[in-house]
Amino acid sequence: QSVLMQPPSVSGAPGQRVTISCTGGSSNIGAGYDVHWYQQLPGTAPKLLIYTNNNRPSGVPDRFSGSKSGTSASLAITGLQAEDEADYYCQSYDDALSGSVFGGGTKLTVL
């Protein structure tokens, strides 16, 4: 079981908006550590999508946005496209484990 909890799956129709939650605790997100998000397309390595809670690396469309509040964080995707179908992971740091931790991943299906 992952330290950071994500829904196993979400889905949406093209053009819609979806959100993916990432719930942690007092030793990770709640302790103030930054949250980062990754997109993993089938058969490929993960790609950094959002860093430091709400920042997009160069080249990532502004359809992707992140937020953080308390012990949770969220990834929002607007204007859903077929190419967004992938697995999404959140990541932070955990004091108790003294290391980086990932969420269990969320599979996004574009209907």
Partner 1 sequence: QVTLKESGPGLVKPTQTLTLTCTFSGFSLTTTGTRVSWIRQPPGKALEWVARIDWDDDKFYNTPLRTRLTISKDTSKNQVFLTMTNMDPVDTGTYYCAHHGNFRDLRAFDIWGQGTMVTVSS
Give the C-alpha separation, 103 to 109, whole Å: 18
Give the C-alpha separation, 42 to 18, whole Å: 19
Applying CB under 8 A, among 41, 61, 70, 97 the residue interacting with partner 1 is 97
102 binds partner 1 (CB under 8 A): yes
Distances (CA, A) of 10 to 37, 101, 106: 16, 21, 7
Distance in Å from the first CA to the final CA of the chain: 28
Which residue lies nearer to partner 1 by CB, 13 or 99? 99
Applying CB under 8 A, among 23, 24, 29, 36 the residue interacting with partner 1 is 36
46 binds partner 1 (CB under 8 A): yes
- Contacting positions for partner 1 (CB under 8 A): 2, 33-34, 36, 38, 45-48, 51-52, 55, 57, 89, 91-93, 97-105
